[in-house]
Amino acid sequence: MIKISYKFKNIATPVSSLLLMAVFLLTACKDQQQPGNLQQVVKRGTLKVGTLFGPKNYYIGATGQRGFEYELAREYADYLGVKLEIVPSYTLNELFPKIDNGEVDILAAGLTVTPERLEKYRFSPSYANISQKLVFKQGREWPRKIEDLSGSLQVAEFSSHAENLQALKAKHPNLSWTETDEFDSDELLIEVMEERLDFTIADSNTLAISRRYFPEISVAFTVQQPQPIAWMLSKQGDDSLLSSVVEFFGQAHHDGTILTLDDKYYGHIQEFNYVDTRTFIEAVGDKLPKYRTLFKRYGEAMDWRFLAAISYQESHWEPHARSYTGVRGMMMLTLPTAKQMGVVSRLDAEQSIRGGAKYFQKLINRIPDRIKDPDRKWFALAAYNVGWGHMEDARVITERLGGDPDRWVDVKESLPLLKQRKYYKNTKYGYARGDEPVRYVENIRAYYDTLLFLEKDKGDSPAVEAATE
């Protein structure tokens, strides 16, 4: 509640004026936000959620609002039967006052649960754990422990990184750093890469994404062991909103909502291969320019960068690539598939790209309409690699095991089972190296994310835009 104070001169005040003032004060108090009050949210018909701009939390894509936190908050608003209103901020020092003054009901911004924050706020159940890593650009001297630090270290102001450093300083009095509200943690990684800064601290999930674009980011050591991240709520008001959030998270964990979102945004970036990433980035500069026009011409329906990512996984953009299995060309088509797609020469780059795009679209069209993007694309990619028949077998196994055959996060767990006799002997198409399409899909998603970032300055949509749609 906002405290309103007045100073009165030593003059007589009419009774009517005092009555009007009392009415005004009562009305003002009534209109103020009551943090943590579920009844108010339902009555208002809107859930107000504060978050931070960024690819992990919230951003505006070509087709609307996107981001892990945005989608999870939208699920909660639907759970309550109210509309979602996102109130974004650029920095943490802009964000926290919004929950303090009741401007928002919840903060959903990938916030770490720290001892300092627990003293001031309530938190939802955790939906992930992240650790903190000290990072630097490859090539400089590698510090192995805090005592080895020599150079500039900077972190975002009001961040959990700053809180942790303050705690560490008690044991390491010589530890020094600066804090900034000019850059967020993602931007500080760029400062390190541009060698304007020696060190920063990155959360493990941020690092997993960023190393796809900046493979030279090196991890010195772990600064903080895994901590939970959760939504933040005010300690003011009653417990009704927090109780509702706890119930929602119980359901979201049980029905796979959180698992599906986690796979959508992070499922393809768990493992980092420096050599492969570095080689791909070099190929984007050396090889891709020769074929960019063809990918744009035939990949318009799916985003040309997605088609290019498939082609790189298949042939590393080598038009005369061939495999011992008999597949050939930029898109590594089998001879029967090439004939079906009207490809006369599989070693002709344009014909191969055109045929591959046509075949992928055919696979997309074959998938039941009830399966929506992005799962629809992942199913089609896996079928491109292993064949639709084996995909159907994996979906049957998924259903038998109690999973959802229309959800990629469940089916990708069943695909490797096609290598085990006790599973494939009861399928229509039999044995398959089912782990290969899983890696295949994850590789293409990673290449695609990297392309989105590297090509963002060439008049295309922003990074991460289509990768999560």
State the CATH number of the domain containing residue 356: 1.10.530.10
Is residue 341, in this structure, part of any structural domain at all?
Answer: yes
Catalytic hit among 69, 314, 442, 465: 314
Domain shared by 205 and 326, yes or no: no
Is residue 61, in this structure, part of any structural domain at all?
Answer: no
Domain shared by 355 and 212, yes or no: no
Helix, strand, coil shares of the chain as percentages rounded to 5? 50, 15, 35
Rounded CA separation 68/74 (Å) = 10
Look at residues 200, 216, 232 and tell me which one is the last residue of a structural domain: 232
> Which 3 state secondary structure label does DSSP give 387?
coil
pLDDT value, residue 164: 96
Domain shared by 203 and 279, yes or no: no
∠ CA 386-387-390, rounded to 5°: 85
For residue 326, is it left (φ>0), alpha (ψ between -120 and 50) or beta?
left
pLDDT value, residue 307: 97
Total tally of structural domains belonging to the chain: 2
Burial class (CB in 10 A: 0-12, 13-18, 19+), 424: buried
Task: Convert 80-94 to b/e letters by CB count within 10 Å (16 or more is b).
Answer: bebebbbbbbebbee
Please answer whether residues 261 and 71 qualify as being in contact, where contact means their C-beta atoms are separated by less than 8 angstroms.
Answer: yes
Domain shared by 200 and 286, yes or no: no
Is residue 391, in this structure, part of any structural domain at all?
Answer: yes
Biggest distance spanned by C-alpha atoms of the chain: 100
Please answer whether residues 124 and 233 qualify as being in contact, where contact means their C-beta atoms are separated by less than 8 angstroms.
Answer: yes
pLDDT value, residue 35: 60
Domain that holds residue 145: 128-232
Is residue 340, in this structure, part of any structural domain at all?
Answer: yes
Neighbours of 210 (CB within 10 A): 21
pLDDT value, residue 320: 95
H or E, element range at 3:
none
195 annotated active-site: no
Q: Compute CA distances 214 → 135, 276, 290, whole Å.
A: 12, 12, 24
Write out the E strands in 95-198: 106-112, 121-123, 128-137, 154-156, 178-180
Domain shared by 212 and 293, yes or no: no
Tens of pLDDT, residue by residue, the chain (469 residues): 333 333 333 333 343 443 344 433 334 444 445 566 899 999 999 999 999 998 889 998 767 899 999 999 999 999 999 999 999 999 999 999 999 999 999 999 999 999 999 999 999 999 999 999 999 999 999 999 999 999 999 999 999 999 999 999 999 999 999 999 999 999 999 999 999 999 999 999 889 889 988 999 999 999 999 999 999 999 988 899 999 999 999 999 999 999 999 998 888 876 788 899 999 999 999 999 999 999 999 998 889 999 999 999 999 999 999 987 789 999 999 999 999 999 999 999 999 999 999 999 999 999 999 999 999 999 999 999 999 999 999 999 999 999 999 999 999 999 999 999 999 999 999 999 999 999 999 999 999 999 999 987 554 443 344 444 4
∠ CA 48-52-57, rounded to 5°: 90
Domain shared by 222 and 302, yes or no: no
Domain shared by 313 and 182, yes or no: no
DSSP readout, 194-212? TTS-SBEEEEHHHHHHHTT
Look at residues 232, 265, 299 and tell me which one is the last residue of a structural domain: 232
Is residue 212, in this structure, part of any structural domain at all?
Answer: yes
Question: If you count them, how many residues does the chain have?
Answer: 469
Rounded CA separation 93/223 (Å) = 23
Is residue 118, in this structure, part of any structural domain at all?
Answer: no
Domain shared by 394 and 328, yes or no: yes
Domain shared by 303 and 201, yes or no: no
